[in-house]
Structure 1
């Protein structure tokens, strides 16, 4: 019907949109530094926040995820002839509450449309039906452009002008899935054109929950590569370790990891349609000869054909699996002789172990190992048997740590930094006021003194002042309340390099000084404009780095391979940029945070 000339139905393209929280869950590991600070200030325990991506819109509601989906839709959707507003669209939501949240986000992000851009259409709302009702408005009027639906519009509706479908929920019925897609396949009636949709040769599906992957469909269209589910990442690390062990002739390590991999493969869910469809590939692994000599070709087969199957693993202790992943990644760093990466991973593992509550009887039974693993000499001599013991004995206990642990010292330090930035101390009595209040006091004093102080009058008129005059003015301002100094002005106006007279000229409106946050933001914007091929992950890393520099006002090379940058990639900057790109970024940071 699509390929017929002329076609009976409209073809479609698919764009996959999946957030990090959808793929990796919401936990201390995935929450950004900025958001961790906000949570701490709200009195929330970071360690207690631990949800899988599949729990979104069920056990956990994250406004940021819905906001990101709405923003991505508005950027990527097919728009009307003016290229401003989205064409007619259906948002498929998981519940009425979810639909209302999406509607609220549209209203908040795009207030210029006065709540008319998107409307919730649900079957138990009497406003939906009849002439002039919401469904009639969506079908026959310019507004609303977006119908947010819970089941009601999944089937049966005939609005030919629909050019966007957004799957903001997972769908598990193959039949229903195609019925939902059918809402966009109707062609326009040439005799009845509507101004908001004068042509339609394709419609767009934004898939936010990997529905096409679930049904093993490969549609045309742009796809954003999502980050891998935890079980897939674990198997990938294991294959990397096997590959490395073979390369350096570590036979014992190879045999250990191969045995673990075979056990993982044996536990794949046999009833999954994905596993059933992979029966031929899995049958190859049953041949004993396959495992005797793992050639590069066999390892590539395992990566390409077997590793992706682990996305079907859902019945697992994911907290124990995360701990196993960290230990496995540490052991791989040791094999690679990457001491910096190994030290970073070790510190994180030791922190996790240290947060196990000995007050729990199950944890208490492993007290000797828990205490030993927190000592430096333990890691200096730890071998593969020690790593296996950690995973076997402490992995199952990680669920107690995440239930009962308190925020770590990193978060407390962040709170302290924020507090210091919000207030300023001045004068011999060490008075303390907010930065904004101190700025008001400074500007009020200088405005008052300008009326009769000759040096300030010279500055205001654009004349140059001598060094002696500048010193006299500095002494006067320091003596008068609020005891102004160059250092205080740098703190208050967030500019670490400007000199005293420059601040005075800025206050008098003669010279515009760029604050440090503005300077950093402008530098990063310029860097991004000069590098037009940056990926979404690289953009995310640069945004995090920008905020890090603004908050800390300094950055060291070592910072870039530690948290919070390991949230984006376990290897920090090394896993996101090439060596040449890293050198460019280091030059940028040195210039800003010198």
Structure 2
């Protein structure tokens, strides 16, 4: 059978057999195949796989490797080493089941450095002043992060659209741009891109290019139309709707018009263009006209390729918690703080009692027939009792945050009010703990108050104006009064619905400034997105292939390392090839230098030099010299001798033992030479 996560979760709880028993028992399935196994299996839907006693097979194009949500941990596998991997290069260049990309990278001054008033031409300075005059302020500098959020520059967008129309892959005998996805930063940005497109290309005004954002009523209809080869739209301007899960083989152009720092999302976006499309006749500036899709183009205007060249792993955001989980967790943390003697006053203890009563009621409201609750029933039963909250120890806090918070679901349907609760609890916690984040939270609350004041004509807001206006007063903040902040939360939470997130009260600024192009490059591919090689194999390969690097050369030639050499080895073994946990798992506490020696061996001449005093000693006989050569061969092959007790074992014990062959003084000198070779791989030069 096939099922979505929510459907199966509900089916476990609700579907009954004819005799009234649960149809889906833990033994119902022998095998469960989890598609897109990098998504949603780490929190809420994990309960499905904990419930069923079945073999699990996970399929994913983007395995996660960050700490909080790790696909490998979930399947109890070594990090970075899946059971089977089929990489992009194999699919493209060996099996030819996907097509490669060809990338154009354009760096503009504004998108890279922001807009600096002093750098503008006199003509652009005049335009700049005119554009900002209505807003009442003329900033000296607009950071690049503000572009396409609050400030939109026509000529920057025009560069992107003109590049696309002039250089993009075309179809229909060259008469039409091929299917194209533009990844926009936000809803306003998407709308502005469409405005400029219709202005630049009025003959395509209408449905040729359309916006696809989550709160558009007909977003799915537009997606369905985009999937049909000959149907408009041919350009989809998407905001987080087409980054993944949309397969349109006819897609031949992608425009990266937003910054992406998640490696997972970056390669998912690239994946939108990789599908084969037999019979599609294309025209591009590389091969001219051809049939069957050979490649797709990526236009990158936000430095994404350059970022992933430098930071191969990118940055993965931490696992997001539900709003209910966040609120519950912050209420628990506040209740813990209010246990301290500084808050022993009656008002504070009444507030604590209110918090823990609310938390206890939320736990009691959990339905024990739900699988997510059943799997944690021992904790639910424990914390349904108000006495469990009398004193919240570290152990109790840990259980509440890890076992209870993830399954809490608040009944309040006012999402705006809940978001405000979450924000205010964070502000209160920051004020009580004197955290750095308090200053930023204070600024945010003042901004919220200003937005409410702008809508004072709404009766509900007008009734609360004294509370709103008090936020701007010095007295409101002077006492750092957490009880006052809590009172403000209660007074204002119902007003948040009047501040819908699509309207932050700021009118976007449209500028018309010349945006110089700083750099252009094309066709520079990235390395493979994922490295699935076993860590031990990676270490072996690196050492064997990089013998000329300074640190490895020194180790193989019996030369002491510098502190810089050691740091470079540490970086390679615990950052470049894997992490500290990988190293400890495979090699334990083996020093880096000894590991390199063990794999790369010791240079023959270096080994001979280390024992040259004995080889050149005229007082030693032939049998003694042969014994020294045995030691040299051993150290040359193994990199060092771990312990001199090995001299009493084969092949050193015959025909004459080490003790019988040498006098005590010579034995001591040989042992010192053996130890010196080993120590040279461990010690660092002063």
- TM norm structure 2: 0.33
Between Structure 1 and Structure 2, whose CA radius of gyration is higher?
2
- TM norm structure 1: 0.38
Structure with more helix by fraction? 1
